[in-house]
Structure 1
Amino acid sequence: MESSRGTTRRHLSTSPFKPRVPDPIKTFEVGDRVSHDREGIGRIHAVEGTHAVVVDLGGGKLLRVVSPFDKLHVL
């Protein structure tokens, strides 16, 4: 269940629970083969910093995917 707050609570050092660790940022390079959950398999065509990538899905179809890259996986 997610919190209804817009922010997350800070971790107390006296808490018996482990602090929430953020997911590592996914990085891609031009030419990497990737799989998109909805669109299928493609190849990284261009990288726009850490904010977006352009995926060539074949047949002239390009897909721009912005960060976070939850639906994009390196093969």
Structure 2
Amino acid sequence: MPITRRIEQFLRDTGMPPTVFGRRALHDPRFVFDLRLGREPGARVRNRAEHFMNKWHASGATYTAPPRGRRHL
């Protein structure tokens, strides 16, 4: 399965927003949006994204959105 489809499935399964995935997996919050616009990631980037998804599933982690409202700095 192409990496774009795997990531989209991961996002649906976990409820994780695309920006959070990009930031956590690749330190690039625009990553998923760029994929949707036709970006073709190289092997290293694909491997990093796959590794993140595999680790996430193996850990049994769930995504919980942070509370809305003011941020405390």
As a proportion of its length, which structure holds more helix? 2
As a proportion of its length, which structure holds more strand? 1
Structure number with higher relative contact order (C-alpha < 8 Å, ≥ 6 residues apart)? 2
The TM-score, its normalising length taken from structure 2, stands at 0.24
